[in-house]
Structures are given as structure tokens and as C-alpha cells.
Structure 1
Amino acid sequence: MNVRIQDAPTRTQILGPAVPRRPARLGPLPLSAVRLDSMSLLGSWQELNAAATIPHCVDNVERTGAIANFRRLAEAGPDGPQGTFQGPWFADSDVYKTLEAIGWEVGRSGTDRWAGLLSDVADLLERVQTPDGYLNTYVQGTPGKEPFANPEYTHELYCAGHLLQAAVALHRGSGDERFLAVARRVGDLVAGSFGEDGEPVIDGHPEVETALVELYRETGVESYLRAAELQVERRGHRTLALGRFGSQYYQDHLPVREATEAIGHSVRQLYLAAGVTDLYLENGDQTLLNAMEELWDSAFGTKMYVTGGHGSRHRDESYGDPYELPPDRAYAETCASIAALQWCWRMLLATGQARYAEEMERALLNAIAASMDHTGTAFFYSNPLQLRTGHDGSSEDAPSERLPWYGCACCPPNLARLLASLHGYAATSDASGLQLHLLTAGTFSGETLNAVVETGYPWDGDVLVTVSGHGELAVRVPAWAEGATVAVTGAQVLPGPTPGEYLRVSCEDGATVRLTLPMTPRLVRADERVDAVRGCVAVVRGPIVYCVEQADLPDDILVEQLRLDPTAGITEERAQDDITPVRLRLSGEARPHEATLYTRYDPTSLTGSPVSFTAIPYNAWANRGPGAMRVWLPLA
């Protein structure tokens, strides 16, 4: 378990994506206090993101005209801008998310690769922004459009929110003041126009709430916090036009304290929840946290996929009914899983409860990891848990393999900004010590306690922590880790830690804590109310969900023919590649297909030929071309 750490940037303290001003239960470590091992899974993702994903996003926001929309307005002559607006009306947000990714990456590695781009784009924003602070290339560049005339669909505050977050990232990562000045003018416009005495306007796509809170945290300007409060308080009173999918699609169906069932467009629901939790972290309104805890129980207790995906309906990209979780029709948008992680992080800061870190890990290592290929330049928008033989993947709404870009390209730059700031979600610290939430190799510097973590997790279960300083080390023990053991400084053996809680050890300088997690593959079943997978199991090893892919089957056996024998042993195979380091060998039978679509039930005919087959991590599927796949396996 060799730890390889990249050189840290020269700035002494770089704050992360969510840094409460008011004391929270847990305090996030500065990004500059965490360095992920570049050979670890998470660390290697950050390296891939810097080398491939961010450049890919930069190229595509230029190629698709998203940056040209700014240039068109900045270079407009007396007759107005030439040409037409390009892309979806929220294309500005793709630029801003890419800028945010660059901001975090500059802070992580100190790169100056994009210095010229940043200067050019800052110049464009300054030239396009109106004197009152308004900035939206779709509205400004489309004849007949007026600011905030159609907030249910124009995404003006949504785009503004991503601009604010990009400016904060660039300010924290590199000290850039130009973007922050642009963002403050936008924030002043929102606080003034929609403040106490302004218009009660909210956006059809929540996002600005959490951004306004973070702008307040960065600047200390309380009007931004009050503007976020008003956005939250005004939501849910059905002020937005209904549109095709009704008020719940826009999260405008009930006030936030009453809307305790996850419903409507899943990304909007989760972004709003993150913003409300941010607000609680700053104003301490317990009624907000109470509502968020109920909402979390609904989303994660009755409507989440085993991979950490959210949203079961393609029609409106929404949550379905409780336990409505069809694997083949799972929408499970990448942005929803990212938003879920961001919300869980804020709930973790607010409460200190391990269950929120547990779900961060589930989403990160499964749904989010699956959404990007091994090159870092192709992506899934939706993330099904089953792809049928013969699936028509010609539409980008449900492709058979990852695509380089999308007409609605929200997911790729969202991944880029998450991965660039990923080390900010791994650990927290306070005066008592250090808390490790994501089990990954790296170095972590807390207030009183520092740690070097050596581990091959999630592929192996040996986690060795060497500390310096004095204080309490808290290490999250995964909820599935029954039988985990712990040894301190090599000799002292402690009672087995409690799964789903934190192992807490009072440490002196030089102490070592070794946590050993059982990595035996296990079979997981869903609640019987999940009708779509009744009689099926998922194979899980550690935190990683597995799937069976057609690429690993002979030509004469289809994925749909397989039945798993739950009594047979599961064999692990160590692969020689970084995509599927641990494969599993399963046993069962392959049943012949019926001659007709419907036939008389005869239990004596339900037999097949014995077969063994390979399962790979779900996050690695579709890296060998399109083909059938399934997570949930029927039992023999």
C-alpha cells in the first residue's frame, strides 16, 4: 500500500465547495489540507479529470457555441449581435460548471493551463453583463425576451447560481477577483430585485439557493443569505406556470417544510434540498433540518436505486411512487447522483451521522463512477441498471453506450466540477480530532490530528491509518462490514467496531490504527414492494455493486437467460486492468427461451443448463462497446 501524493499548490489554505460560517456539527477540511493518493481510485479519478475530462469540457463548450454566445454579445455592433443563440437556453451553465471545475483544479494542482481561457472568459462576462448586474446570453441574445419574464423555464437564476459557484471556486482556488466581482453584481441584482421589497420570483430549476449561501460564506454579505432565505420561503406556493408536468416538476407544489416526500424532477428536488440544508447550517432553523430529515428518509429509504441513482421516470426525469424502481427504465440521471452526494455532505456536516457518508460512498462508487468511461471523455446521462438485448440505443435519452457530449450537456461538466473538488468530501476536523468519511488513501491534516491513510479500498478491505499529533480519530465503518476488526499500534486489539457507525480511537503521536473490513461478496435483495426486481438479487462486494454484461458470455447465451444459484460459492478473480480490478465468478443456470411469448405455467419445465459466468463492477459496464447488461439477477 504505497502512498503517492502529488505536490500541493503553494496557497496555504484553500476552502472547499461548502464551508459553513456558523459552527456545524462537523467542519470540512480545507482542500489544501487533503491530498489523495494518485494511485487510489479517487485520486486516479482526479488525475484523469485534470488530464482528460476538464479539457474535453473546455473543447465542447467552445465547439457547441456556449462560449460563442458570450462572444456574440460582447462583439455586437450598432445593429446588435449577429447570428443566433446556440444550444439550449441554459447553455451558460455548462460554461460556468466548467469554470468551477477549473477553479477547484487550479487549487488542487496549481496548474496554469487555463490561465488564458480564464482571462478571456472573464473579459467576455464583464463586457456582456449589464450595468444592473444581469447576465444571461439566452435572454440578452434572443429578440423579444425580457429578464425573468418566464422563470418557470428560462433557468436564469439556475445559470446565475452556477456562475456564483464558479466564481467562489475560482476565488478559493486561485484568488481570482474578476469572476467574484461579476458574481457579486449578479448577487446584488438578485438580492435587490427579489429581496424583501422586490418581486417574489423563484426559478423553475432550484440551484441558486445553495449558490447564494456560498457567496455569502465567501464574502460575508448578509443580503445574499437573506436572498437565499427568501428563495426557499417563496417556493411551494404555486407561483410558477404549471407547464407540462405540474408544480411538483418545479418543486413548487408545497412549501419546503411540508414537502417531505421526494417528488418531481429528481435533480431539482436534490439541489433544492442541498440549498435548504445550507440555509439551516447558517440560520439554525430547526424546522428546516426536520423537514430535510423526513425528505431524506423518503428519497433514500423508498426511492433510491441500489447503485445510488435517483429518479425512475424518463418522461419528466422524476422520482416515481415509493418503491417504483424499474431497473431497465431507471433514469437515474448522473446530475441527480451528484446532487444527492452534495446534499448528503451537507446533512453530514449538520448532523455528524454516518448514514449520510454511507450514501455518499454508494453514489460515488457506483452511479457516479458508472457515468464516465475509462478515458474520461464519454458519459452517460441516464444510468439504467439493466440494458436489454436488442435495445434501441440510437437516442441520446437512452443510449447503449456513453456519448462524448449531449444536446443537454449538464452532466459532463457537473462530473468535472465534482471530481476536481472530490478531496473536499473525504474528511472533516474539529478541536477534538479528525473524522474520515470516505475510505481512501491519502494525507489529511486536521486541527490537532494528522493522518496518512494507506489502503487499496474499495478493492481490498485493509485500511491503515498512521497519525501524528494528538486527538480522537474517527473512521467510518461501512454499514455492510459485519465482522470488521481493528488493531491499534499493532498490538492492542479492540472489540469489533459497529457497522454503520464511526470507530473512535484516542490517538497519541505516531499511533497506527488498522481497520480490516470483510470483502466477501454478498447477495442483496430489495424490499418486496419493489415489484420490478422481486425474485432477484444484486451481487455486491464491499461498497461496489456488480453486474453481468453480455461481453462476458458466450454467443449462444444471452444475459436474459441467466439464473443465479444463491447457494453456490462466489469466486474472486483479480484482473490485470484498472477498469475491473476484481471480477466475480458466479454459478447458476441458463434457461432456454420460450417458443411463444406466453405459455402455460409448468413448474417442472423451469430448468436450464448449468453455467458459470462473470460479474464485473457496475461502474465499469459498457467500456467494451454496447451490449446487454443487468444488475438484478433472477434466482434459479
Structure 2
Amino acid sequence: MTTAAPAESASPLTPAAPRAAVAVHQGLAMSAVRLHGGVLGGWQERNAAATIPHCIGQLEESGVLDNFRRVLGNSEADYRGFVFADSDLYKVIEAVGWEIARSGTTEFDAWLDEVIALVARVQEPDGYVMTWIQGVHPGKRFAELEWTHEMYVAGHLIQAAIALDRAAGRADLLELARAFADLLERTFGPEGTDGICGHPQIETALIELYRHTGERRYLDLATRMINLRGTGLLKRGGLGARYFQDHEPVRNATDAAGHAVRQLYLNAGVTDLYLETGEQALAEAMDAQWRSTHERKMYISGAFGSRHRDEAFGSDYELPPDRAYAETCATIADTHWAWRMLLAFGPGPYAETIEREIHNALRASVDASGTRFFYSNPLQMRPDRTTEVNAPKERTSWYECACCPPNIARVIAQLSAYLATSTEDTLWLHVYAAADIDLPGHLGSGVVRVRTDYPRSGRVQVSLDGGAPPGADLALRIPSWSRRTTFDGEEVTAGDDGYLHLPLGVGGVLELDMSPRWTAAHPRVDAVRGCLAAERGPVVYCLEQADLPEGIDVDDVIVDASHAPQVSGDGDLAPMRVTANHRPARPGLYRPASESGADGDASVQAGLIPFGHWGNRGAGAMRVWLPVDAPPEPS
């Protein structure tokens, strides 16, 4: 049984810092976990150098900042963007905050001065600030909570303010955020109106504000909102109560339903509430939600949401690859939730889920330049696929509904927060990346050095530069896919918790089995019957049109799965080769079953690339799930 670390060991310099002793694990300060090159370190550097500046530029070009200016009478432009466009600014500010925590940069200080001053001028004396209402519908405050996203916007303002204060000791935005939170508490607190936001997110923000300030009333307000959800407060409209997760009280809602991002943000908030109260009914509800979401409704890439119409979860096992909505924000929301589940309950499927999401769905959501993005992340792109709103054929520099690009910027800026945790006697490594990790005080002094190019290879070297007290342990996660794992050349197996436990001062080399493998979906996933996906380590691969000879279409390639995929190179792409045939189909949709429907086979060299890298060579067809001719050989 894992022993919890003392609550006071939680560092405030993290995105989630529980105050109560409920947490089984405690996060480390972001400043204590420093990425050094490799896949994740390189991504953080690109995020700082390209993605964050790009987002700052787009806030001007898209009209987000003009929306604030027009409230002051300083812009004649019409309001632009969705009703919640203010949140784009707050997410970018949060990204800057975590980048300051990571690197100590001062490069964004002048910009922060400008935009925080702008928000302060727009904020009304009672704390309200929301440019859609103030500039377009004055007098309609909190009148349509199901659609106006006022509390959602407030939540992102709060999270941005906390990030800045934790990272830079800068309290100016925090004062504005607290004023808005205080207005919400006066309006919707115990003596106020019953009300919840149509888009959950305020709950986790209020709980983090309680953690940051110690003001219990913020926790009480979040509790009240969670308790009111599912009581029918929201006007349902054509999408119904399930769309808003307002169909059933939180403690009774065991099935992930409705808009995927909203459900996952709500779950993060509910788990935050459990981390402060220890209420068993919340833990049981979150366990059921986890199983629903991750055992029956998650794409192999770590994406969520199978329906375009309402950006929603479908039924169990309804996971069409070509029509996957798989919104980037849903994966980000799930990463936040999975991290809180790990803090709450310790070892389990949570770290492996985070790793899958980072290296697949999240990696695919932004291009190699860091400046073009996917909103929707399908697992198959047909040759004749047309661009749809928020589901284009190729990445774009921004969206009218621009929730995803700044969300990517903030989650990549905080990536180091998800690598490691501590308990009373153990430092736990969950996500492997080249990094230096300062030991928390109760585990001694010094730095754990992790050197690896994972997931390009499975070699992870760990060492301690410093001293650790007797009995202190290092826990190294052994992924479920590693069929043979060694430490310093000796074969090892994970304990019941999925980790290899060693004395903290013992250095050595962990070797994970990175053999390519075929993966089958649950037989109830009808959309991919007769197909397999290729994986290597935590990385899902795909077949892209750019890697096929001229005249051969992706959809006419049939792989022979009796031959395992073979790695044919190294580097970030780590391409694979698979044995395959080109089987062009005859014209006509339907024919007698006795006819093959094909004009004969021709062998083809099919090269696969990591799904996270697809689409960097222009628009074209792609698929993750590949039709097979022969089943894979028994492993």
C-alpha cells in the first residue's frame, strides 16, 4: 500500500496543489523538474519560441484584444470570435506563466503589463469582466448560463492568475480574478441564486483558488456548483441535458456523456473536490467515469469524442476513425483529469494514459513548426475528405473557435509537472524524458538525473547526484506494453502497482522493450473490425499517402500482420516498414459475397510514421487502423 506524502510537501508551483492530506501522491515544483532536450524538452523549447509568440500575435489578429478595447470605446471593430473569446487571452497568459516557471524568462513582461492593464480597465467595479456581455449584450449578465460561458471564462482568468502568481509572484491579475470570483460567490453562493455554467471548468479553477489563497468560500462555491449539476438548472434546448452533463447528479453519473470536453473538465473538478474532502461517493463516481471513458470511449491515440454534431462522446465502443471528432481540448482536459486521479489514488492506469495522450493525440494537434493546429484529430483521413468547420483536412494557424491552440500552449508549458511525484518514502517517475529532478526535502538533497531519448528508444538511465535517507526508494514505471524489461542487464518485472522499486541512491539503466507490435481493438468497435494498428512503445503509427508510390491509395493497402512491423530507421520519426499488398477495389458499392471485389494483389512497400507527425508534408490521406490479410503470429 502506498503511503501518502505529508500534505505540506505539496509545492505551490504546480498546476494542481492539493491542501488536504487526502492525496496519495504529491506533485513536484515545476522549477524542480527541468527537461533537457529530447522529445519533450525540444517540444517545450519550440512552444516557448514559436507557439506562445504565435498565439500572442493571433490574439491581436483574431480580434480578442479588440473585443476588450471596444468595451472602452477604443475600437470601432465589431465583436469577433465566439462568446467565450476572452478565454483565449487567459489561456495564453497562463501559458506564459508556466513558461516563466520553467525558464525564468522576462521576454513577455511588457506584453503582460499591457494586457493585464487592459483587462483591469474593462473590469467593472463589482468584479465582472466579460466582453461579450459588456460589449454586445449589456444588462444580460448570467441570464443564459447554458450558453454564455461567463463562469468558464472566469475559470480561465483564475487559472491564468494563479499561474502568474505562483511562477513570478505577480499578483496584479490575481486581484482581478479574485474580484470576479468574489462576485460569483456573492451571486451563486449559499445565500445567492442556484446556478451552474453550461461549460464546466470553473469548478477546478475555484478549488485551485482555494488552495492558493486558503479562502474556504471558494471551495464551498465549487462544492455547491458540483452538487447542483444534474438537477435540471440549465435550459436544455435541442441538444438535451446530457450535452451539459446536467441529466444526472454527479455522484450518480457513472457513464461519460455529452460534450466530451465539458465532461472531462467536470471530472477534473470533481476529482479536485475529492482531493480536498475525501468524500467516498465522489471517488466511486470518478472510478466509474474513468472506466467508462478509458475502457469504452477512448481512441487509441488518447483522443475523445466520436460525434461531430455536439462534439460528444458516443455510445460504448462507438469509435469511428474517419469520423472521430477527437477535439484537442478533450485530450488536454483528460490529461488534467488523469493527473488529478494519479494524485488522488496513486499507481494505476493514469500515468500510462497521460503518456499516450502526450505522444499521440497532443503531438498530432500541432505541426512541426509549432504554429499550425488541428482542432479535430481523426484517425483516418479519406482521400476525398472535405474541410469542415473545426475539422479541416490540414492544420490551420487559428480557428474562429480558437479554444485549442492556446490550450496546447499552456499544457506544453506545464509538461514538466507530469513527470514525477513523491510520497513519504519514494520518488516516482511516471513519464520518461531527459530531465533533472530536484529531490523534495523529505527525500534528501540532490538531483535525480534522467538521461534518455525516449520514446525513440527504451533506454532510460537514472542516477542520483546527492544523498538520500535510508529507506528512500525510486519507483520506475514499467509500461504494460514492455514485454521484457531489464535493469542493468538483469530482467525485472513490475510489482503489483506497475512500478519497479529500487533504493533511491541506486543508479542504473532501465531498458524497456520497444519492439513494434500489432494492436487489435475490442471486438465491439465495429468501425475497425478486420483492422489492426501498429504501435511501438507509447507511440501509435499511421500510414500516410506521402509514403506510398504514385498510383497507390492508402485505402487500397492491405497489411500482412503475420509479419511484425519492423523499425527501419531512427530519430524522432522512427519509421516502420510493414509487409503489405496493394489491392485496388473494383468499381461498384456492392457485389455478391462470392466475388473478391478486387483486381488482384501486388506487393507494396508500406512505411508507417508516428501518428503525431502526420500531416507535416501537406494534406493527404492517412489511416491508423489498417485492413489485414492474415492475423499476427502469437507473441
Same fold by TM-score greater than 0.5? yes
The amino acid across from 1:401 in the alignment is E
Letter in 1 for 2:134: Q
**Equivalence map 1:218-257=2 (5 Å):** 218-257=212-251
Q: Within the alignment, does 1:41 sit opposite 2:35 as a pair?
A: no
AA aligned to 2:70 is R
Following superposition, the deviation at residue 129 of structure 1 comes to 1.1
Match in the other structure for 1:5: none
- How far is the alpha carbon of 1:499 from its aligned partner? 8.8
CA contact (8 A) 2:516 2:564 kept: no
Question: Secondary structure at 1:153's aligned position in 2?
Answer: helix
* Counterpart in the other structure of 1:557: 552
Distance 1:84 1:615 in 2: 47
- How far does residue 605 in structure 1 lie from its aligned partner after superposition? 6.4
- Alpha-carbon offset, residue 391 of structure 1: 1.3
Give the CA deviation at 1:36: 0.5
Q: Which residue number in structure 2 is paired with residue 115 of structure 1? A: 109
Which letter maps to 1:516?
A: E
Equivalent in the alignment of 1:30:
29
Secondary structure of 1:551's match? helix
Q: Does structure 1 residue 392 correspond to structure 2 residue 356?
A: no
User: Is 1:486 equivalent to 2:487 in the alignment?
Assistant: yes
C-alpha distance in 1 between matches for 2:491 and 2:165 = 45
The answer to whether 1:455 aligns with 2:452 is yes
Equivalent position amino acid for 1:48 in 2? R
Aligned-partner Cα distance in 2 for 1:275–1:627:
39
Provide, for residues 309-351 of structure 1, a one-character-per-residue CA deviation record: whole Å limited to 9, x for no partner. Answer: 0000000000000000000000000000000111000000000
Pairs within 5 Å for 1:563-582 = 563-575=558-570, 578=572, 580=573, 582=574
Instruction: Give 1:519's aligned amino acid.
Output: M
Equivalent residue of 2:238, what SS?
coil
Matched position secondary structure for 1:244: helix
1:370, 1:295 → 2: CA distance? 26
- Residues 518-537 of structure 1: CA deviation (Å, up to 9, x unaligned): 11100000011000001100
Letter in 2 for 1:506: P
What is the rounded CA distance, in whole Å, between the counterparts of 1:535 and 1:312 in structure 2? 20
Which 10-residue stretch deviates more, 184-193 or 499-508?
A: 499-508
Instruction: Please point out which of 184, 190, 194 is paired with 1:190.
Output: 184
Alignment of 1:13-28 (within 5 A): 15-23=13-21, 24-28=23-27
SS at match of 2:476: strand
Cα pair distance change 1:47/1:14, threshold 3 Å: farther
Paired with 1:455 and 1:144, the residues of 2 have a C-alpha distance of: 55
Aligned length: 609
AA at the equivalent of 1:435: W
1:302 and 1:522 mapped to 2: Cα distance?
Answer: 22
Q: In structure 2, what is the equivalent of residue 613 of structure 1?
A: 606
Secondary structure of residue in 1 paired with 2:291: helix
SS at 1:332 equivalent: coil
- Matched residues in 1 for 2:496 and 2:508: separation? 17
Gap regions ≥5 residues in structure 2: 1-10, 630-635
SS of the residue 2:515 aligns to = coil
Distance in 2 (alpha carbons) for counterparts of 1:145 and 1:85: 17
Contact persistence 1:574–1:583 (CA under 8 A):
yes
Are the equivalent residues in 1 in contact too, given 2:484–2:491 (CA < 8 A)?
Answer: no
1:532 aligns with 2:527: yes
Question: What is aligned with 2:476?
Answer: 475
Between the aligned partners of 1:143 and 1:281, the Cα distance in structure 2 is 38
Does the 8 A contact of 2:585 with 2:597 survive in 1?
Answer: no
Give yes or no for the alignment of 1:596 onto 2:621: no
The answer to whether 1:428 aligns with 2:421 is yes
Secondary structure class of the residue paired with 1:133: coil
* Cα distance in 1 between the residues matched to 2:20 and 2:41: 30
Give the Å deviation of 1:575. 4.9
In structure 2, C-alpha distance between the alignment counterparts of 1:531 and 1:354, rounded to whole Å: 28
When residues 388 and 545 of structure 1 are mapped into structure 2, their CA distance, relative to the original with a 3 A threshold, is same
8 Å CA contact retained: 1:477, 1:498: no
State how far apart, in whole Å, the 1-side matches of 2:482 and 2:566 are: 19
Contact 1:46 1:419 in 2 (8 A): yes
Distance 2:589 2:501 in 1: 57
- In structure 2, the residue matched to 1:3 is none
Q: Which 5+ residue runs of structure 1 have no aligned equivalent?
A: 1-12
**Equivalent residue runs for 1:154-193 within 5 Å:** 154-193=148-187
Between the aligned partners of 1:205 and 1:469, the Cα distance in structure 2 is 47
Distance in 2, Cα, partners of 1:525 & 1:623: 27
Structure 2 CA distance for aligned equivalents of residues 137 and 631 of structure 1: 42
- Kept after mapping to 2: 8 A contact 1:193/1:199: yes
CA displacement at 1:604 relative to structure 2: 6.0
What is the SS of the residue equivalent to 1:574? coil
Q: Secondary structure at the match of 1:635?
A: strand
Q: Which segment drifts farther, 517-526 or 143-152? A: 143-152
How far is the alpha carbon of 1:588 from its aligned partner? 1.7
Cα distance in 1 for residues equivalent to 2:303 and 2:597: 36
Asked if 2 retains the 8 angstrom alpha-carbon contact of 1:522 and 1:541, the reply is yes
Contact 2:390 2:399 in 1 (8 A): no
SS at match of 1:342: helix
Cα deviation for residue 145 of structure 1 reads 4.4
Report SS of the residue matched to 1:176. Answer: coil
C-alpha offsets along residues 255-284 of structure 1, whole Å, 9 cap, x if unaligned? 101111001000000000000000110111
Q: Do the aligned residues in 2 keep the contact of 1:14 with 1:173 (CA within 8 Å)?
A: no
The CA deviation at 1:426 is: 0.8
Corresponding residue number in structure 2 for 1:6? none
Q: What is the aligned-residue identity percentage?
A: 48
RMSD: 1.5
Residue range with higher mean Cα deviation, 476-485 or 616-625: 476-485
Show the 5 A alignment for 1:348-427: 348-393=342-387, 395-427=388-420
Q: Offset at 1:555?
A: 1.4
Counterpart of 2:258, as a letter, is G
Structure 1 Cα separation of the partners of residues 434 and 275 of structure 2 = 29
Query: 1:507 deviation in Å?
Result: 2.8
Q: Is the 8 A contact 1:14 1:31 kept in 2?
A: no
Whether the 8 Å CA contact 1:464–1:512 is kept in 2: the answer is: yes
Give the distance between the partners of 1:283 and 1:133, measured in 2 at CA.
29
Task: Please say if 1:542 is aligned against 2:542.
Answer: no
Could you tell me which residue of structure 1 aligns to residue 6 of structure 2?
A: none
SS in 2 for 1:585: strand
Q: CA 1:513–1:145 in 2, change beyond 3 Å: closer, same or farther?
A: farther
- The 3 A distance-change label for structure 1 pair 596 and 500 is farther
